[in-house]
Chain A
Amino acid sequence: MGAQLRVYKRRIRSVTATKKITKAMEMISAARIGKAQRAVAASAPYADELTRAVTAVATRSNAKHPLTTENPNAKRAAVLLITADRGLAGGYSSNAIKASLTLTERLREEGKDVVTYIVGRKGLSYYTFRNLTVGNSWTGFSDKPTYGDAKTVGAELIEAFTAETGGVDELHVVSTEFVSMLTQDAVAARLLPLKLDEVQLSDQTPAKSEIFPLYDFEPSAEGVLDALLPRYVESRIYNALLQSAASEHAARRRAMKSATDNAGELIKSLTRLANSARQAEITQEISEIVGGANALADASRGSE
C-alpha cells in the first residue's frame, strides 16, 4: 500500500472513532433532556403554590421584610452565574458568561460593586483564569441539580443579602432559559429585593391577578413571610438550576449532533480521496508494468 493511501486510511479510522464518541454523547444528552424537563415540570407545583402563598401574604398584610425592602442607594450587587461543569456543549457556558459580563458592566456603570457567585466549573475557570474575583462557587451538580444544592446556594446568597455589614443590596441571577429543544436563552434577572408585583406563576401569568381568601396567618403575617421568603428564593434558584441543566443537555445534544454530522462528511470526503489515491496507485503500477514490458521487448528486438 502506498504512503498516501495509508495516511488517508489512518485518518478515516481516527475520525470514525471520534464520530462514535460524539454520537454516544448526543444520544446520552438527548435522553437526559427529557429527564431534566420532567424535573422542571415536577418542581412546578411547589413553586406555584409557594408563589401564591407569598403573594397572598404580601397582598393581605402590610408586612415589611428585609428581602423585599429596596435600598435606595444600593452600593453592592451580587450576580449568580450558572454554567456547566463540562464543556462540549457549544456556546452554552460562554453565552451565560457573556450575559453575566454585560450585566456586571451595567451594574458597574450604575456605581455598584459586583460580587460574582458561580455555579459550574466552566464559569469558575473563566473567572479564575482572568484573575476576576469570585465570591463563592459551587461545582459538581450542574447537569443534575437537587433541591439540596439550591438550598446550599440560596442559604449563602440570602446570608450575604441580609448581612448587616459587608452584605449586598441586590441579587441578580444569570441562567439559561430552556425555551425549546432548539432555543435556549441566557437571561439575567433580578431576584432580590423581591418585587412582589412582578411575581409570576410557571405559566407566565402574574400571580397578583388572582383574588386571595382572607387567610389567618399563624403565628403572624411577619412570621409566615419570614419563613416563606427564603423558601421562595431557594425555589427560584432551584428553578434556574433545573432550567439551566435542561438547556445544558439541549446545547450539548445540538453541538454533538453537528460534530457527528461533520465527522460523517469528513469520512465521506476522506474515503473519496483514499479511493482516488488507490486508483492512482493502480494506474501507476500498470503503466510501470507496461513500460517495463515495452522496454524488455525493445531490448530483445535490438539483439536479434
Chain B
Amino acid sequence: MAELHVELVAADRKVWSGAATIVVARTASGDTGIMPGHTPVLSVLETGPVTIRTVDGGTVIAAVHGGFISFADNKLSLLAEIAELADEIDVARAERALEQAKSDLDAHAERRAEVRLFAARGLKAHA
C-alpha cells in the first residue's frame, strides 16, 4: 500500500514521525485528509485534533494548537506551536482547564481544552 512520511513537529521538539496511509487535520478551510500522492499543499492549521493512520493499522491522535501543514514529495510536515500526543495528555488537567476556561469565558482556552479532551478520548475509543 502506498504510504506517506509524516513529521509532526512542535516549536520545541519533534513529536512524532513515521509512515502513514492517511492524515486528517483541521485546516482553516475545514477538515482535510491527505493521502499519498496528494498535490503539494501548504495550508494553515486551526486548533484541532490530527488523526494519523499508520501503515501497521494503528492510529495516532494528537491535539495541535496553531501551525501549518505542508505536503510535497510524499512528505507531510505538520508544524504546530504546541502539539501533544493523545497519550501524553493529562485528562484530569484538561478537564480542569475546560472548567476554568468556561468560568472565565475564554473561548480560545475552552477550545484548546476541548480539543485536548477530544484527542485523549478519541484514542480510548480506538483502543
Contacts and interface: CB of A to CB of B under 8 A. Distances in A.
A275 interface: no
Contacts of A52: 70
B72 interface: yes
A52 B79 CA distance: 12
Contacts, number: 87
Contact of B7 (A45, A146, A215, A218): A45
Given A147-B11, A216-B39, A227 B72 contact: no
Interface residues of A, number: 30
Contacts of B10: 46, 147
Interface in B10-29: 10-14, 27-29
Given A213-B73, A215-B70, A218-B28, A227 B44 contact: yes
Interface string A215-234: 11111000110011001001
Interface residues of B, number: 27
B31 to A, nearest CB: 12
Contact of B42 (A39, A45, A217, A238): A217
B67 interface: yes
A216 B40 contact: yes
Interface of B: 7, 9-14, 27-29, 32, 39-44, 66-68, 70, 72-73, 77, 79, 81-82
Interface in A201-219: 212-219
A224 B79 contact: no
Main secondary structure of the interface of B (DSSP, over half): strand
A42 interface: yes
A88 interface: no
Nearest to B39: A216
B43 A219 contact: yes
A227 B44 CA distance: 7
A217 B9 CA distance: 20
